[in-house]
Amino acid sequence: MAGLDSTTPKPTGITVHRKSRELELRFDDGNVFHLPFEFLRVFSPSAEVRGHGPGQEVLQLGKRDVDILAVEPVGNYAIRPRFDDGHDSGLYSWDYLYELGTQREQMWRRYLEELERTGGSRDPALAPPPAPKGGCGSHGH
């Protein structure tokens, strides 16, 4: 499982900044990342967002105003943010959080390009309603 790579720096501090809607992550190598809630939600590692393989990703729309209600620790390797849109199935491993921090600009640029290409929007009022919940379709839920 991602998050168990012993060479990845480990967080020494995680702070939720509600006013700026950012998660601040301090790592033991000295790096500090400020990841917007919207960015974290758009790049959730859950199967609901990423799919089960390449090409199965689901473009996230209307997440500009998303909030984090809580951040729960998962063992000594990850956190599980609970978003106010009901999404709570993403386990963000230390490796993945570090990757998000170091690759944020490139990932965000690709996301904005994909939104433009598809006519999607970051704004909730302009995004289509979500599809009915039914899991990811491959587990018989």
**pLDDT value at 126 more than 90:** no
Question: Does some domain include residue 39?
Answer: yes
Residue 138: its pLDDT value, please? 46
- Residue 98 belongs to a domain: yes
Does 86 fall in a domain? yes
pLDDT, one tens digit per residue, over 28-46 is: 999 999 999 999 999 999 9
30 domain residue, yes or no: yes
Please determine, for residue 133, whether its predicted confidence score (pLDDT) is greater than 60. Answer: no
Full-model pTM: 0.86
- Count up the domains in the chain and report the number: 1
**Residue predicted with more confidence, 55 or 15:** 15
In a domain, 137, yes or no: no
Average pLDDT over residues 47-67: 91
Model confidence at 93: pLDDT above 70: yes
Provide the pLDDT confidence category of residue 129 given band limits of 50, 70 and 90. low
Does 71 fall in a domain? yes
Please indicate, yes or no, if residue 126 is contained in any of the structural domains.
Answer: no
Which structural domain range is residue 26 located in?
11-120
User: Using CA atoms, how far apart are residues 44 and 100, in angstroms rounded to an integer?
Assistant: 10
| Residue 140 located in a structural domain | no
CATH code for position 39: 3.30.2020.30
| pLDDT for 111 beyond 70 | yes
pLDDT band at 128 (very low <50, low <70, confident <90, very high): low
What is residue 137's predicted lDDT score, i.e. its pLDDT? Answer: 46
pLDDT tier, 6 (very low <50, low <70, confident <90, very high otherwise) = confident
